[in-house]
Structure 1
């Protein structure tokens, strides 16, 4: 069974009717309301009938809507208070620099805490196994995810020779895929608004038998439908732009796990890379 309510929604989303999708979208977008308000209040706010929310809960594998609500309450935990505090700060309109820092740092901390609670060790290990066993690993990141993909590849190349970023150094996405074989791995990073080429890359990767890992921010991301290893990463922000903080924590965790599995040859490559870096930067 998927780890969170949003994971369950993403797994069932392609098969949901229009009304159930409306209910699912509301549940995913309003976790605090789900955890704290009655079914009747939810129905009034959303325009979706109580019966539809109850039907959604059963479709997602819950006994009833109350079971879904209790699960959301447990998942929210201490996040309920910080949301209220942030709302109060926004209402006061405090423009002090320290307030901006406190607000953004608080949201990012909550994202990381939620990531830690909701990503199971089994799911994480399965994705790392796919990366470890792959002959090649290709990273796909466009729009705001482009710099993150470059950073991951830069880090991976310290201990591995088989990682690359798709569509870099003048090559096209198609050329990047042409050098791949079944059993290789593709990591797709995409957040709203989802780049069409990123979604297409995930679909092509799956069709060609590549192990597909998708890191995204919502159950509505079309790439989740074809992911072997889907991850919906908390990306809330006090800024105008989706936060990548928790995504980086997840990625860096995967990197650490990979290094621990590769063994002495990885350590030797890291030492050699560090030595070359030292020589190149010596004055």
Structure 2
């Protein structure tokens, strides 16, 4: 499934001048597109509502609402709609997701201070015990960290996920 911007780029040359005005507006305001209805898009791009309707039918949508629903689904799934768009190119959703994750990791690694990171690793290796904390949304990350970073397991104490269990387990 092609995303909206890919569909527009692919058909841009064959669009009428009025449809190109809508496409240009979409390219310039892609982040805000999900918040506009078709009448607002027509008004903001300076064309008729019928032009907007024809454009989205040409792009393969039955109605404008179908395109908004598609964008909403992509956004809710975590797919960035425009942030770092150059890093998110590919033929499939999986390929684009992979490339975005790689871009995120690269940005994180570049932001790390190598000296501080080495000091943290040295301290972890020398520690008698490592306590791993992760509550609510951080709980899955805590499990991953505990299973992959804490070897041998006897040196690692995982903070329980519920506060009541936490109070019972303070005797580490």
TM-score interval for Structure 1 and Structure 2 normalised by the shorter chain: 0.3 to 0.5
Which of these two proteins has the greater Rg computed from alpha carbons? 2
Question: TM-score, normalised to structure 2's length?
Answer: 0.46
Higher relative contact order (CA 8 A, sep 6+): 1
Between Structure 1 and Structure 2, the one with more strand by share is: 1
Please, what TM-score do these two structures have when normalized by structure 1? Answer: 0.29
